Amino acid sequence: MKFVKITILILLSVGFGCASLEEDPTKDWTAEQLYYAAKTDLDARFYDRALGLYEKLNIRYPFGVFASQAKIETAYAYWKKGDNAAALVACDRFLREHPDHQSSDYVYYLKSLIYFNDDPGIFKRLVDPADLAGRDPAQLRSAFFTLKELSARFPKSKYLDDALLRMQFLVEVLASHELVVGEHYYRIGAYVASINRAKFVLTEYPDSTYIIEALKLLSKSYDAAGLRDLRDKTNEIISLNSSDISNVLKSDPDKSWYEFWKDSGEGLRKPDAAAWWKFWESDTPLQPDSLTK
């Protein structure tokens, strides 16, 4: 008898367990209900719960405005919970599936923020530039090119001003990186390498604030390598005023890789130089407003 009772209890517990697994309070929800429930969880920072609801929405209702918005906010939720790899995959998936969506500019902008977030040492470098020598700036370059694509494709985007500020910041950080590495090569006697780093700053970042430092590194590297004529020519350039330096360095008709914002035909503009570093002082836009349009 005892054995029978135990068997019945086991069967009942299994039955209840199966029932609980099959129960889903959202099974009859509309796309709108699933979306706003997920958005509520997202705003409350319950990211895993929000992601679960977004997934249900996309499985049950794969088309329409709520589904596309859910894909965007899925990327955002992954980013906020610290899963940058999944966030980038979600961004790329959205841009692949919805290349002409009205919120595509936001997704490019979000991608750049993810790349920024993927390099936690970025702001430390403003205080400790020596930290640059041992770091790979690949994530920063990815952030830059993502912002470049945003700016080129959406010159009237509401995210453009912040994008340009971030790009100018990235130019400064990347130029600093090259110089720190170049100085390292100079100290260990690898003068060809230090010359190449200095030249890279001059040709690729001619609008950065590190032009004079790059010229000085170039001059002393030429001197150490025994290239006196090139050293003297470099010193002549250093003696020029800043506007003359700019004209000399830009004599090459091929534009540097980031100078696209100078093309007046594209309607782009360079940000106010006095304010470029202030972008992180204010909260960045978190969500596109496509559902309210």
Instruction: Give me the tens of pLDDT residue by residue for the chain, a chain 293 residues long.
Output: 444 444 444 444 444 445 444 688 888 899 999 999 999 999 999 999 999 999 999 999 988 899 999 999 999 999 999 999 999 999 999 999 998 899 999 999 999 999 887 554 554 554 454 454 455 688 888 998 999 999 999 999 999 999 998 888 888 888 988 999 999 999 999 999 999 999 999 988 888 888 889 999 999 999 999 999 999 988 888 887 555 555 555 555 444 433 433 343 333 344 443 333 333 333 343 444 554 43
Answer yes or no: do 157 and 273 share one domain. yes
Residue 96 lies in a domain: yes
If asked whether residues 85 and 186 sit together in one domain, one would say: no
For 57, the domain range is 30-101
63 belongs to a structural domain: yes
Specify whether 127 is located in the same domain as 271: yes
| Residues 216, 93 share a domain | no
Residues 93 and 207 in one domain: no
Same domain, 140 and 214: yes
Ordered DSSP codes for 255-275: PPTTGGGG-GGGT--PPPTTT
DSSP codes, 14-28: HHHHHHHHH--TTTT
Asked if residue 53 lies in contact with residue 37, where contact means CB atoms within 8 angstroms, the answer is yes
C-beta of residue 102 within 8 angstroms of C-beta of residue 290? yes
Residues 236 and 160 in one domain: yes
Whether 109 is in a domain gets the answer no
Is 106 part of any domain?
A: no
How many C-beta atoms lie closer than 10 Å to residue 217's C-beta?
A: 25
Are 89 and 133 found together in one domain? no
Domain boundary among 101, 133, 154: 101
Looking at the structure, do residues 126 and 194 belong to the same domain, yes or no?
yes
Give CA–CA dist 94/88, Å, rounded. Answer: 10
Residues 274 and 200 in one domain: yes
CATH number of the domain enclosing 77:
1.25.40.10
* Residue 180 within a domain: yes
* Residue 56 lies inside a defined structural domain of this protein: yes
Q: Is 293 contained in some domain?
A: no
- Whether 285 is covered by a domain: the verdict is no
- Same domain for 216 and 132? yes
Say what the pTM is. 0.69
The total of structural domains in the chain comes to: 2
Residue 170 has phi, psi (to 5 degrees) of -65, -40
